[in-house]
Structures are given as C-alpha cells and as structure tokens.
Amino acid sequence: MFSSNLLLHFLFQLFIIIHSRADLPGTWELLVANAGIASMHTAVTRFNTVVLLDRTHIGPTRKRLPKSHCRVDPNDPVHKQDCYAHSALLEPSTGKLRPLMILTDTWCSSGQFLADGTLLQTGGDGDGFKKVRKFTPCEAASFCDWEELEETELARGRWYSTNQILPDGSVIIVGGRAETSVEFFPSRHGNGAVKFPFLAEAKDTQMDNLYPYVHLLPNGHLFVFANNRAVLYDYTNDVVLKQYPELPGGPRNYPSAGSSAMLALTNDHSSATIVVCGGAQYGAFIERTTDSPAHGSCGRIEATRPDPVWEMEDMPFGRIMGDMVMLPTGEVLIINGAEAGSQGFEMASQPCLYPLLYRPDSPVGLRFMTLNPGSVPRMYHSTANLLPDGRVLIAGSNPHYFYKFNSEFPTELRIEAFSPEYLLPEKANLRPVIVELPENVSYGGGFDVVVTVELPVVGVVEINLASAPFATHSFSQGQRLVKLGVSSAIPAGSGFYRIACTAPPDGRVAPPGYYMVFAVNTGVPSVAKWVRLL
C-alpha cells in the first residue's frame, strides 16, 4: 500500500512526464552571472537595492574588496589579511554590484530593518557572536557600508537566532544555539537577556529549536514556533499565554529545515493565520543520511482563535530548505531546497527545482500549484526575496564549509529572478501603475493612491503593504503583508483611478518602517512604491 505522501509524489512525477516545462506557470531569468559571493543572508532596501551577505573566516570569495580595504584579523583561521568581499550591494535593474566591508563573522546570524530603514544585523560565530552591525541604505550611485557598533553588543551570544521588529520599533532577538533566552535592541532589561524556557523545552538531540519561526500577531503578542511546538508569548510581561497543539509530522526548524509564513492580514486585521510546511525526517541530521526523504506536510493554524487547531495538508512532494515568500497578491511562493536530507554542510541531495504556489483562499487539496522549474540547484544557504517589481530574487547556495566549485552541488554565484504568472506579457494591460502616493502615512489615517490602468478597472483594486524581510536559512524574518481597507476605484481622468485607503490602525498590525506599496488589479500587481509608516 502506498502512503498518501508516496502516492502524491508518484502522481506528481507522472504529471511531470506528461507535461513539459512550457506548460507550467512562471518564468526564470539570469540577473547576475557571477556575483562573486554566495548570499547566505539577503535583504531588499527601500532604494531598490539588495544587500547580499555571506560570512567571513572562510577564505577567498570571488569578489575582491577595493584596493587598500583589506580586513586584518590575526584570529582568522584562514586569512589573517583578507582582501575579499563577503558582502555586496546589488542593483537588480542593472546587475551592478558594489563590494561592502564586513569585519566580524556573520555566519548564521540574524537581521531586521528598523523603523528608520536601517538594517540591523546581529550575532554570528567567533568574533561575531555578540556583535551588532548596522547598514544604512543609500542610492545605488552613493556610498554606504556596514558599520560595526563598538559601544553596543548583545547581552548573550546569538548564533542561529531570529529577529522580529515590534510595534514600538524595537527588535526582539529570540534564541540561538545553546541559548534559551530573548533580548531586545535597544536593551530594555538590566542584564539585557530574559530566559525563555519554551526554547529549552523545544530542544531535542538535533537542536531543532534553532532559527525559531517568530511572527508578530495583530494582538501584539508573538507566535513562536520551534521544533514541532508553538506558544503565544507576551514579551512585554514575559509570560507564555498559550500552548498551541503540537504540529504533526516531526521537527520543522533548523536543522530539520521546514519553513513558515504568516498569511496576509486582511479585513479588520484582527485574525492571523500561520502556515508551516516541509521538513526533514527526525534523525536525518544526526545520522547524516543525505538520502532520507523529506516530508511534504503542511500545517495551518489560525493563531488568534481562542481554540486553534492545526489543519493539515500535503504539498505535491517533500521539501526541505524551501523559502516561503509572500507575494503582493497574498499568495505564497515556496521555492528552493531539496527533497532529501537535512540542513547543514553536505547534508542534502535531490534538489527541488519546482516552485509551488500556495493559494490560501482555495479549499484543502487545491491550494498548491506546481510552477515552472528552474535549472540551478538551490540547496543549503539559499535565499528568496520579493522585489518591488513583483519578481522574486533567488540567490545563494553553498552547502560547503568553503567555496567549492567542483562538486555535485557547487557554491552558487549566479543570481536569478523568478517571475510569477501575474507578470506574463498578456496580463500587462491589467497591471496598474501607481502615479500618486504620499511618502509617509500615519497609523489609522486616510490617504489616496492614484493609479492608471490600460484596461478599465472592474471591481476593487487592492492596496497592499509588503515588508522587506531579512531572508536566511529558509525563513524570512519580519515578513508580513497587510491588505488595507480601500474604497472602490473612482475614475479620475482618462485611465486614472483614485483609491481611498485607510492605513493600518497601529504597530501591532504593521510595525513602523518602510513598506512596499502594491496596487493589485484582478490578481496583477503594480510595481511597488515605498512608503514610510509612522
């Protein structure tokens, strides 16, 4: 007898045989043939540039720093004088790259944009264990670089931790390897750290509590998921308010390599639904079994209900190390990863080249659509980020300790973009263009967005706010999409429409900061413009 997962996998493989790639939605393009570094951590800035960040202490990359800008570190185990870049700033519209200077080790670190648009970057290994760094973005033609804070450091070393911006604009930093506490930036407690026993309870012999999935709910509390468990955490009073039911299917966090996303906040923004998908079989990491099949189960829970339960369904096939990207439409792209093994160096096989589209409004059993496959394996240390033009930037993949180019899954320096079906040329006449938008909006305030559309608008044009998360290790820290309350589009001249919008009510629904604003017409998004929510 086939198990349900095996049967689904068999049917999917049969589907592939019958249908050619050309029949599946989505298109791929190569943006950069050689970025010089493999991006373990990736973030999109409000200037439409992309921060690429690997780690130091690994020897040469394929991109050099500017002349006379070498990093000198007598404790570096590989290069005491390192003249290679381990970070870069990419301009996707031109493919231009500028090397950035990073001094301390950012291996498996964490990050989050602050309310002023600065990228906060925390922790890592070695000399980066307690380090706090900032990157203040600038126009592509200007100069900006990493700043390593000297007067401020983390209270506890943070390696494999998760960051989340809070309603007041501060950031909570959760967990890390051998660390079962939380702390804040700026610090809000005398010793800087608060014990969080849940992380100890969620730890197993594989350390499946690393890179916990942290989502800020619209009630102001945190949904924190580690291993196969989740809690509702009141971080203000340091109280666990609720223990959620265990998620069936085994561990989902690093190194078992599932992924998670909070679905779009809609209507009155009072409810929030979390999805957790994929993961490795328990024991795959310990036993280093690279051929252990991943599972494809997904759990979905309405985290704000008084009596929440997990609703289970299966993806068409198993996946580990997949990235879940919130699209402007409210759908979720699941991309990258492998079908066997676990996270870690040389620990996975069978690259998963087929993206999936998760359609949350469809009934169970019909939510997943298989998309056009890529050709580049994106294994351990891959990333995926939504760009303002609606494409998804795909970067990274280095399943080796050093850069290695003569293996089955070599260090990957190519950067690609995946275009969902909504960017097909035949949909161009439905695509709105935002022509008027305020630079700043206030909580609960009304404002107008003016768009132009080639074809007459039929129905409601959505106005959706998308955050710019920090993507690393199969989880996008701080990712959220908020659908605003809008009026019907009112004609305002030839092909122009005015849409009255209401901003999110407070920082619990959307923390302060810069957001991409998308107008979405019958499922087709505009190019985003940036707005600051104050």
Query: What's the CATH code of the domain at 519?
Result: 2.60.40.10
Domain C-terminal end among 423, 444, 469: 423
287 phi and psi, to 5 degrees?
-85, -5
Question: Which tokens belong to 255?
Answer: 């190194």
Domain count, the chain: 2
* Burial class of residue 19 in the structure, from the number of CB atoms within 10 Å of its CB (0-12 exposed, 13-18 middle, 19+ buried): exposed
Q: Is the domain of 110 the same as that of 219? A: yes
Residue 2 belongs to some domain of the structure:
no
Q: Is the domain of 146 the same as that of 177? A: yes
278 phi and psi, to 5 degrees?
75, 180
Residue 208 belongs to some domain of the structure:
yes
Of 23 and 327, the one with more pLDDT: 327
Q: Is the domain of 320 the same as that of 339? A: yes
Q: Is the domain of 381 the same as that of 461? A: no
Domain C-terminal end among 366, 399, 423: 423
Residue 234 belongs to some domain of the structure:
yes
CA atoms of 513 and 532, how far apart (whole Å): 5
In this prediction, residue 1 carries a pLDDT of 35
* Burial class of residue 314 in the structure, from the number of CB atoms within 10 Å of its CB (0-12 exposed, 13-18 middle, 19+ buried): buried
For residue range 181-236, list pLDDT tens digits in order: 999 999 987 778 999 999 999 999 999 999 999 999 999 999 999 999 999 999 99
pLDDT > 60? residue 8: no
pLDDT > 60? residue 96: yes
> What is the arithmetic mean of pLDDT over 78-94?
95
Which amino acid does the sequence have at 112?
Q
Q: What is the DSSP track for 304-348?
A: TSSS--PEEEE-SS--BS-EEEE-TTS-EEEE--EEEE-SSTT-E
Q: Is the domain of 122 the same as that of 266? A: yes
Residue 369 belongs to some domain of the structure:
yes
In this prediction, residue 17 carries a pLDDT of 42
Q: Is the domain of 487 the same as that of 522? A: yes
Residue 11 belongs to some domain of the structure:
no
For residue range 289-299, list pLDDT tens digits in order: 999 999 999 99
Domain C-terminal end among 423, 438, 469: 423
In this prediction, residue 133 carries a pLDDT of 98
Structural domain containing residue 197: 24-423
Looking at the DSSP bridge assignments, the partners of residue 273 are 302
Residue 13 belongs to some domain of the structure:
no
pLDDT > 50? residue 371: yes
In this prediction, residue 45 carries a pLDDT of 98
pLDDT > 90? residue 19: no
Asked if residues 211 and 475 have their Cβ atoms less than 8 Å apart, the reply is yes
Q: Is the domain of 399 the same as that of 442? A: no
Asked if residues 90 and 96 have their Cβ atoms less than 8 Å apart, the reply is yes
Q: Is the domain of 92 the same as that of 182? A: yes
pLDDT band at residue 22 using 50, 70 and 90 as cut-offs: low
| Average pLDDT of every residue of the chain | 94
Q: Is the domain of 310 the same as that of 260? A: yes
C-alpha closest to that of 418 among 386, 448, 392, 384:
392
155 phi and psi, to 5 degrees?
-70, -35
pLDDT > 90? residue 338: yes
Q: Is the domain of 303 the same as that of 442? A: no
Residue 459 belongs to some domain of the structure:
yes
C-alpha closest to that of 216 among 269, 164, 273:
164
H and E: helices and strands count for the chain: 3, 45
For residue range 113-127, list pLDDT tens digits in order: 999 999 999 999 999
CA atoms of 532 and 534, how far apart (whole Å): 6
For residue range 348-368, list pLDDT tens digits in order: 999 999 999 999 999 999 999
How many CB atoms lie under 10 A from the CB of residue 448?
15
Q: Is the domain of 401 the same as that of 522? A: no
Question: Which tokens belong to 138?
Answer: 């600038």
Residue 254 belongs to some domain of the structure:
yes
In this prediction, residue 390 carries a pLDDT of 98
Query: What's the CATH code of the domain at 291?
Result: 2.130.10.80
Q: What is the DSSP track for 255-266?
A: TS--EEEEPPB-
For residue range 313-332, list pLDDT tens digits in order: 999 999 999 999 999 999 99
pLDDT > 60? residue 392: yes
Q: For 470, left (φ over 0), alpha (ψ -120 to 50), or beta?
A: beta
Q: Quick check: bond before 469 cis, omega within 30?
A: no
Q: Is the domain of 354 the same as that of 469? A: no
pLDDT > 50? residue 2: no
Which amino acid does the sequence have at 355?
P
In this prediction, residue 135 carries a pLDDT of 98
> What is the arithmetic mean of pLDDT over 273-285?
97
